[in-house]
Every structure is written in C-alpha cells, then in structure tokens.
A = this chain, B = another copy of it.
Amino acid sequence: MNTNAALSADLLPETAKYPTLLERYRRVRSRTESLVAPLSPEDMVVQSMPDASPAKWHLAHTAWFFETFLLLPHVENYRPYDPEFAYLFNSYYEALGQRQPRAQRGMMTRPAVKSIIAYRHHVDERMVALLQSALPANIADLVELGIAHEEQHQELLLMDLLHLFSLSPVKPVYDRTWPDIKPGRRGRFIAINGGTVDIGTAAKDFAFDNEGPRHTVWLHAFEISDHLVTNAEWLEFIADGGYSRHELWLSDGWSLVQAEAWQAPLYWEQDSSSGEWRQMSLKGLQAIQPDAPVSHISYYEAAAFAAWAGARLPSEAEWEYAASAGILEQVDDAAWQWTQSAYGAYPGFRPAASAVGEYNGKFMVNQMVLRGGADITPAGHSRLTYRNFYRPGQRWMRAGLRLARDAR
C-alpha cells in the first residue's frame, strides 16, 4: 500500500481555490489515519526512546489537543470523552496538570488503537459541528494552531516510527513505495550583500508565535549554497577522516562522537564484506543515493562538515533572507537545514498567557534552529519564517545542511 497517497491528497485539485477551515481540518485528520494504515497494533504502541512517542500516542494526543483547546472551552456543555485522557495524552502542558511521564508513554498498551480511533472520531464529530458554525477569529486561530500541531505530529510520527524500525533486528519496511528524497546536484555559493533586512512573520496568515514579531537585523555580506550537501560529499568527509579529526569538531560534539562511536549519520550501516554503506529508511534498508541530500545528522556533524569544507552554517536570518530572495533550491522538500543560530526569542516576543503559551517559548534554550522543511513534512506546513529546533546532538529528525561562508 502506498501511504504516500495521503501526501499527494493535499495536492489534489480543489473545488475552491482556498479550502475552508473545515475542509482543511478533515484533510489533516484523515491523513494522520492514513499514515498509520501500514502499521500493526504492535508497531503503534512501542516507544523506542524517551524522545520518541508511540504512533498510538500521536493519534490520541492530536485529538486531545482539539478537545482541550477547542471543544472544552468553546463548545457549551462539552464533557471530556474520557476524564482519564487528560492524564494520558497531555504532552507537556504544566498548566493542565499531571500527565503520564514522557519516558513511560510506551507502557500504555491500553486503551487499544481502535479505542483511540473511536476517540478521534468522537472529537471529529464535535469539531465538524463547531467548524460549521460561524467562528470568531480567536477560535479560528486555535483551529489553525490545532491543524499545524497535527501536521507537526505527522512528521514526528514518521520520525519516531523510523527510529523504532531501525532498532528492530528484522528492519521492517514501512512502505515499499515511499518516495526517496529528491536528489540534487552539488551546491554553488551565491553572494549576498549585507545591510539591514527584516525577518520573521508579519502575522497576517497563520504562523507559530515564535516566528514573530517581524523585526530588523543587520546582515554582513555572505555567501550561501543553492543546494544541500549530498551523500556523496558526506562520503568524502568520512573518507577524509571526518569522524576522527578532533580539530573539525566542537568540544561537546567530539565527546559525543567518541562516547557513541559515531562513524556516519544515524541509520547508516556499512556492509562488513563489501564496505558499502546502506541506510535504514521508511522503505527498509536501502543503498545510499549519492546525489540525495545527507540527512539524520546532528548539529555537531553539520558544523564539523562545514569546518572541513572551509565554510560554516548560515544564521537563520541569512537563511531566511536568501530563501525569501528566491535564490535557494531544495528549500523545504528535502531535509531541514541546521543553522548556526541558537533558538531564542525574537525582539518583542511574548508567549500567550494561557496553557497554549507553553507551545514554544519554554523551549528557548539548549536548542539550535533548523530552517526549511523535509520530504516528510506535510505539504504546505512549513514557511520561510518557520523555526524548527532540536538539541545539537539529536539525529532522528530529517536534518541535513546547506553551507554558507563570509563574503570574500
């Protein structure tokens, strides 16, 4: 079965040019369920590491999000579907009370997948009724948030599943027909002049709170590559001793390289007889495609590669400015791109006062910004102002890199 049908559904001709909120709600909810179609109940319950969540949990948590932030406050007399679910499926909202510890999400063999699907459909019924009524702007904004939230979890679901399957000794195939990341060519540096530029969202359309306010920054003249670094280039880095030359690495990265014996991106493994590299993917173990962008690398690896290449990572402002200028390729359909910017608040940023305010702001430390989007990111989810963020040692995201350098 081709679960990617769900992906392309987003691209189908539409009756109207702009789908209504209701249509978009239905589409995102339905795609989540089509993503789990190839999975057995067993595949959907196991948690492979504390950073990852079971597929079943993603199914339930995204329903809980709509129930908690839309139905409960904004639908008269709405009663929780199951009062225990607030404990089971709250992710990290401290303001909403106690919750199942993150590292123990895999202990919830019950409720069963089919009960979770029933929960989703119950929420859908009420949400559809709500969406058929006239909505004030603040509620419509929350629906937008809920849709964007579910799209994020669609990507997480695929990331988490790939991680789980990579740990299985039988290396399961999620979908034999899943499309490969589109290959590209090697990048060429494009020069950009410095000066003041404005970045961040001006907030007419939906965006996450962390993308604004729009504000001025000063950029120094720089160069940025039009393509992502490829697997072939990464193989050169490996062949040149990239993983064993301390001088290329940040100190924390070098410690991790040694502690975890990294020798290649996550999911790569070398055949002990032929010496060939393969990588675990949603299609199972596959040969490395030389022209495809490298992925599943940490910030440390991205920075070491850049040092090896005599370059650096772009700042997020450089990236956004260049991307807005339309000069970059592989912007959001291949792999997220590490930047050298630590994740923090834009000038004037202020999180919402309610529980929703915990969405982004409280994570603004110890993380690096990634820009763009990946092949597994739902179509239309990302934006040029979008700020993704992960810890510098994490590797289970679809993260690659695009080089930059100071003007010569």
Q: Which residues of A contact B (CB under 8 A)?
A: 40-46, 48, 56, 84, 87-88, 92, 94-95, 100, 104, 106-113, 164, 167-170, 172, 196, 215-218, 220, 246-247, 249-254, 299-300, 303, 312, 340-342, 344-345, 347-348, 358, 362-366, 368, 392, 406
Answer whether A362 and B108 are a contact pair too, CB < 8 Å, given A42-B42, A46-B46.
no
Q: How far is the CA of A364 from the CA of B368 in the complex (A)?
A: 12
**Is there contact, CB below 8 Å, between B348 and A406?**
yes
Inter-chain contacts of A254 with B (CB < 8 A): 94, 362
Contact of A111 among B170, B218, B342, B365 (CB under 8 A): B170
Q: Which of A43, A100, A218 has the most CB of B within 10 A?
A: A218
**Is there contact, CB below 8 Å, between B247 and A218?**
no
Inter-chain contacts of A84 with B (CB < 8 A): 169-170
Additional pairs, 15, CB under 8 Å, beyond known A94-B254, A299-B365: A40-B112, A42-B45, A46-B106, A46-B109, A84-B170, A88-B169, A95-B246, A100-B169, A110-B172, A220-B348, A252-B366, A303-B365, A348-B406, A365-B368, A366-B366
Contact of A250 among B196, B249, B342, B365 (CB under 8 A): B365
Nearest-CB distance from A218 to chain B (Å)?
4
Contact of A362 among B92, B106, B250 (CB under 8 A): B250
**Is there contact, CB below 8 Å, between A109 and B168?**
yes
Contact of A364 among B45, B87, B108, B250 (CB under 8 A): B250
**Is there contact, CB below 8 Å, between A110 and B46?**
no
Answer whether A107 and B406 are a contact pair too, CB < 8 Å, given A215-B220, A366-B366.
no
